[in-house]
């Protein structure tokens, strides 16, 4: 019986938005208004494809993009938390479900030396083409009306849990879901009473969970524990693992 930790990435593992952080690699660190105004709600992946195409047009090399992405700050206490997880892989599994992309997340985790903590990253696939332009694709197709068109985190989590159960007979004694944003609300609906949802204090997920509780529109079975640093998550995790 292992413990599963599920992380969002932006404003959770790292203390900024990785997709907007990349703009720092541009000479003037800004995008033209015509590009920023092209974003349509729920179509973030398509928008980021245009952003990365523009960055390629400015002759910014993949190496330059990587050097900028590796400077994004981690949220306080997160590297210590991930280090603890990497040292306890016999009892703790860890996945990331994010609306960022595979390249950014891999670069950032590797630069911090904490990639060993994460067993799998579920995010939008990205690659550099023959010109050195980064292309981003949708993670998957889904029919959830509450989530962005490219990613339903609940579906990802449900499939992961089912596959672990079918392939290796793994049943997690406790799942910790750690996030901050509106797209982190949907996966909390598949958590059990033995699980813990951990919203970042002062961010959207915490506010949505408060409204959920007040309106009692949907039954949330998991315990809610808000956090402001990785050390608070680590305390909860250590308490659960040692119980």
On whether the CB atoms of residues 7 and 199 are closer than 8 A, the answer is: no
In the annotation, is 8 catalytic?
A: yes
Sign of CA dihedral 129, 41, 226, 3: negative
DSSP E strands in the chain: the ranges are: 3-7, 92-101, 120-124, 126-128, 134-136, 174-179, 196-199, 223-224
Instruction: Compute CA 169 distance to the chain's CA centroid, rounded to the nearest angstrom.
Output: 26
d(CA 111, CA 148): 29
Largest CA distance in the chain: 55
d(CA 201, CA 63): 35
On whether the CB atoms of residues 176 and 84 are closer than 8 A, the answer is: no
In the annotation, is 28 catalytic?
A: no
The tokens describing 91, both together, are 């009892």
Of the residues 8, 93, 184, 195, only one is catalytic, namely 8
Q: How far is CA 130 from CA 17, 63, 133, 173, in A?
A: 27, 14, 7, 46
Of the residues 10, 19, 93, 180, only one is catalytic, namely 10
On whether the CB atoms of residues 10 and 18 are closer than 8 A, the answer is: yes
On whether the CB atoms of residues 23 and 52 are closer than 8 A, the answer is: no
What residues act catalytically?
A: 8, 10
């Amino acid at each position: 019986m292992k413990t599963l930790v599920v992380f969002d990435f932006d404003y959770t593992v790292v203390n900024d938005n990785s997709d907007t952080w990349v703009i720092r690699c541009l000479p003037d660190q800004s995008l033209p208004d015509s590009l920023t105004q092209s974003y349509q709600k729920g179509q973030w992946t398509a928008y980021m494809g245009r952003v990365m195409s523009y960055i390629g047009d400015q002759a910014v090399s993949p190496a330059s993009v990587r050097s900028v992405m590796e400077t994004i700050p981690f949220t306080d206490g997160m590297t210590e938390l991930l280090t603890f997880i990497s040292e306890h892989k016999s009892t703790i599994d860890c996945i990331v479900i994010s609306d960022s992309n595979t390249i950014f997340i891999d670069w950032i985790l590797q630069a911090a030396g904490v990639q060993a903590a994460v067993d799998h990253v579920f995010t939008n696939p990205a690659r550099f083409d023959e010109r050195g332009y980064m292309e981003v694709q949708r993670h998957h197709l889904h029919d959830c009306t509450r989530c962005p068109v490219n990613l339903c985190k609940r579906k990802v989590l449900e499939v992961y849990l089912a596959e672990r159960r079918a392939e290796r007979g793994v049943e997690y004694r406790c799942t910790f879901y750690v996030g901050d944003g509106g797209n982190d609300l949907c996966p909390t609906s598949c958590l059990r009473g033995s699980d813990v949802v951990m919203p970042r204090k002062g961010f959207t997920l915490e506010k949505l969970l408060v409204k959920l509780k007040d309106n009692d529109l949907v039954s949330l079975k998991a315990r809610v524990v808000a956090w402001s640093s990785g050390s608070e998550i680590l305390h909860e995790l250590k308490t659960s693992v040692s119980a």
